[in-house]
Structure 1
């Protein structure tokens, strides 16, 4: 989101109707501190800082003006000096969000100074009386400082800061405008996507005065033009519109794509090409799964605005059962703060650069100081996730024992896995805001609030196990706990997926040793039963579609027909599930039946007490499984004997599978024990 403040070469332009746009200021406050060259002055100069929120409607980050410490008068955020020679008027745009306190309202504005801040001339101001609302300002500005060579702009607040909780500012721009100009805004495809056919969406903005009626664009992928289309759509000045190429593009699995989109004609004429193309690199994943949005909520029992946010979130969660994961951080302010504050809550505050309470985050993105609305939440719920999380916990005395598996469909390096132990309802942290009970209160992070760093291969999972004596926390009832699990990008703060751990029960272990075999136009996938637990069956997912539900077999075969990925999920009682084990459908290191039909035999079949294996291949290991995938016996042979004798007298009568690991790969055969 980084934007640069530009010193415009305005000597080429005399009026707003010049042939090319001139960007004078273009600042989105992306850095973690106030941008270089900017400064604050006046009363409340120390109340300005960069927040990671996006309350004003842009992308994180944004400027925030806090009410505390309280001040009265004018507080200014001042830009570096710019050259306005020959410019008599310009356009100004600003996004902002105000959270008022009380009903007196408050005033903000934009001013200019050509004497280094000694004298300020307001070019726009407005008093706001509606709270918790986003505003986008677009104004034509002029004044006594226009046309001068050394001009500073400022965003200012006027009045008593006691009238507000916070004011957020983003996307501050000053510019001149040409008649016809379209700008590529974004390629609206995530960095990681599931393989398969999909639309290519992108957004454009009309930054010229004339309305756009049509434009032509092409899409270039890995150096080849793959799509070209004329879009007939009306876009007014400063309007941003998302459009989609009509034809789909097929993204193959486990691949990287450099996507470039270029606009080459607007309204059937040539257009300024300087802002007409944009590029992005996209990686394809093995699959996707249902997203469970993660809610992180900063609150305090001494915070007067917090009950409103708490009540709104209670309504949201009541309307969306089993669709969310939640944890709430009790803060040590205002006043004495919440009695259940811990230093781990402080760690999360600094992690997000959180400004005040209440403040809510959904999947790592700040929503602001109001409760999350149902439409916004459900839109996030509909976004597919490229990771999966499962876990369970048990308790013994006051000790909680947690096992959690974190799985990704892409190669995830240096990601953070978080495990937060909450209490569902607490009453011992009553403060001064009138609330009598509190929900989803975070008691302890395991191992700590900095998370656990993991490197996960695509389609695989990593496991974490912890135990902790909860009597060392503010826990009120050992039978009222919940555990929030989530996987997060530590740099961008994006949360890949989350889940509550299954409560007071054993872990749902995933399958093991999954392999695929291709034989002609057929493929077979085989797997071992979980190391522990008793699944009722397995779900087989092929290219995102459920191919077999709760099958009790430990292998699945189907026609290949360009299928690319298979995933196996262990299903337990009450429809509890493990994380999946996903794999690209390839011959892998297995041996097709055609390759080994003359090189390997097992006999007799059916067998009594002895089974013979005849092969010229080097047999490294033999494992026998029952029809439920449970391993019964393992033989480490490391032999080149032509015939191997396998004692099976201890096996019960029934059907079994023998997995033979050879120097040429794995072979699975079925036999019957009489």
Structure 2
């Protein structure tokens, strides 16, 4: 089972009259067969799946091996009137998850309900990653008032796992039509990255030459010339540009287009598909990646025992500290695993799992072989990660409480956050496959099997908070529970990052909280623990000893300590500190609490929170109320929005609160209303950003925390 790759859809909306869309089926209604379509034989093997494995978006068509058959099954199109037509182009996306042996897939056509005639076939002996199939059909059958085509499978279905199909498009081609059908570059990357594009001939005239170009926002245009080709209708080629994409941190629009088709200066017959755009996001920094393994398994599955014992368990013994892994017990084969849950069923449905064992690494299906597992592991480690996850949890009786935070170093607009409570080892779910111990068995997904929506801004932490009663779950030993957290891309199903939570003697919070702004300068600071705590080693936490485990520093003054008094409440779960002098306004402070322990001797973690005090006196400088900086506080990078009101920007600089200029910036335009600034070399502190435009100028206050 090979991992899938994502290709962008061909733009078809608004085609000119020289090309006509006859049929466009995206399976968006979620029904199988779609309205007007039919299935000939084995209808129960076809379904509308919420997966996106064919390379488009969910839902998509899916043909599964079960119930097993050995015949031909066809997904048949509606009847279409193509009278007067001699040629049509059929395109669709597909992904094949192969199991063994061989079988045939293909496209066949007919008129007036007659005998099927094959237009394209392939004998399958291996898996195929997502790809686009293009079939030029110029048979006499096309010229019919009752034309149909079908996509078919012929053979023993046992040799297939699943076949995914999407975006079926039938067109009457224009004369000359070169189309950009994909932009081949990751959405998220850092450093110089190669760019390629797929050019497809959608027209009747062969393509011999053309020019392809790309541009990021309104930066320089890079081009490449292609000649000596003979691309016929439906054929494609991938062109790799000699110039790589290398831009600073930020969010950009990457545009790729084709022109000068067959040497013509004018646009081709369908200019609407000559250009494709893609949003790319360049993180401000990267972090080490934790590969995330999800295994679907069962105690009634003999192949699961073989895979675990011969491949996965040895792999975890060698690399367990380098990965995060969770197992979902399934309710088949036979009676299935008694630890199956509806939440595990949600993950099964999300990935379209219909067999066990089945393994996903960073959201991609991976073959259950030693070579495939190790390859996926190494590929994950080498890929860019830009999300930090920190989580801690406590166990009280049957209750698990979880606190944490997730921080992304670029904007993420469409993701899902999942929190897993799992048991390290279970034994009471053993059944028929010979396994007696089962590892990392999922007990709860929080808040449920669908996770929670996550929209992240660059550098701005998002909190994680859950309290769950495990009474009604399959838990065998509460003391053997663990927590994992992972963030998943809703578009590609890829995993941005995963992490294990740490068991703590108490969860810790503070007022002001981390990243708080406009904090009063003359109020006490409180630190609250979810459980009573004492000093590490067992000594009582007192007012005097609290001063030794809590620190407050002025980050703007090079980390100068702030003197304070401390008061510990009788329950030993709240420390209140009161600075001996009022804090400075518009100043960055950092609060740190050293590890303590609860009354059972379980250690807590080191807690820290950075906050900025409010401005009371006026700086005497003008403010641009129409725009804002985010994130603020910032680390390596900041985006300023609302700058269109300033006109053309001529200069951006940073000054300290005394007015001394510290740095000049080279702003990068993200959109017409946003610019980005690299903060490399700017020390922790509070700065006034001066932005000069040809229509107005002003200043904006910025806090920098590295």
Q: 1:457 to 1:100 in 2, by over 3 A?
A: closer
Match of 2:260 in 1: 265
Distance in structure 2 (CA, Å) of the matches to 1:414 and 1:292: 21
Q: 1:75 to 1:347 in 2, by over 3 A?
A: same
Pairwise CA distance, 1:84: 4.3
Give 1:74's match in structure 2, choosing from 72, 77, 100: 72
Distance in structure 1 (CA, Å) of the matches to 2:106 and 2:702: 72
Q: 1:486 to 1:162 in 2, by over 3 A?
A: closer
Distance in structure 2 (CA, Å) of the matches to 1:64 and 1:25: 19
Q: Deviations over 1:270-324 (max 9, x none)?
A: 5634422112345666544333343333332334554566555556655654443
Q: Deviations over 1:109-139 (max 9, x none)?
A: 3222212x464333344554x3555597666
Match of 1:243 in 2: 240
Give 1:289's match in structure 2, choosing from 277, 287, 290: 287
Secondary structure (helix, strand or coil) at the match of 1:425 reads strand
Match of 1:449 in 2: 449
Match of 2:163 in 1: 167
Q: 1:107 to 1:34 in 2, by over 3 A?
A: same
Alignment of 1:21-170 (within 5 A): 32-34=30-32, 36-37=34-35, 39-53=37-51, 62-71=60-69, 73-85=71-83, 96=94, 98=96, 105-115=102-112, 117=113, 119-125=115-121, 127-128=123-124, 130=125, 132=127, 145-159=141-155, 161-162=157-158, 164-170=160-166
Task: Say if 2:439 is the partner of 1:388.
Answer: no
Match of 1:594 in 2: 658
Q: 1:252 to 1:337 in 2, by over 3 A?
A: closer
Distance in structure 2 (CA, Å) of the matches to 1:30 and 1:94: 15
8 Å Cα contact 2:634-2:703 kept in structure 1: no
Match of 2:634 in 1: 583
- Tell me how many residue pairs correspond in the alignment: 548
Q: 1:212 to 1:67 in 2, by over 3 A?
A: same
Deviates more, 1:177-186 or 1:151-160: 177-186
Secondary structure (helix, strand or coil) at the match of 2:405 reads strand
State the TM-score, normalized to the length of structure 1. 0.64
Pairwise CA distance, 1:142: 6.0
Match of 2:211 in 1: 215
Secondary structure (helix, strand or coil) at the match of 2:431 reads coil
Q: Deviations over 1:435-471 (max 9, x none)?
A: 4443321011234334345565542223334444546
Pairwise CA distance, 1:48: 0.8
Q: Deviations over 1:240-278 (max 9, x none)?
A: 42534627564465xx54443332335655563442211
Query: Higher strand proportion, which one?
Result: 1
Distance in structure 1 (CA, Å) of the matches to 2:606 and 2:208: 51
Secondary structure (helix, strand or coil) at the match of 2:345 reads helix
Match of 2:420 in 1: 420
Pairwise CA distance, 1:420: 0.6
Q: Deviations over 1:463-520 (max 9, x none)?
A: 334444546432334454331102345677554322111246666989966699xxxx
State the TM-score, normalized to the length of structure 2. 0.61
Q: Deviations over 1:331-355 (max 9, x none)?
A: 2123211111112222333445544
Match of 1:185 in 2: 181
8 Å Cα contact 1:70-1:162 kept in structure 2: yes
Task: Say if 2:344 is the partner of 1:345.
Answer: yes
Match of 2:686 in 1: none
Match of 1:379 in 2: 379
8 Å Cα contact 1:389-1:499 kept in structure 2: yes
Which 5+ residue runs of structure 2 have no aligned equivalent? 1-7, 518-524, 535-550, 559-587, 596-602, 611-632, 641-653, 661-699
Distance in structure 2 (CA, Å) of the matches to 1:289 and 1:234: 45
Distance in structure 2 (CA, Å) of the matches to 1:463 and 1:330: 29
Pairwise CA distance, 1:430: 2.7
Q: 1:57 to 1:449 in 2, by over 3 A?
A: closer
Distance in structure 2 (CA, Å) of the matches to 1:30 and 1:364: 22
Distance in structure 2 (CA, Å) of the matches to 1:441 and 1:167: 29
Distance in structure 1 (CA, Å) of the matches to 2:98 and 2:213: 44
8 Å Cα contact 2:330-2:340 kept in structure 1: yes
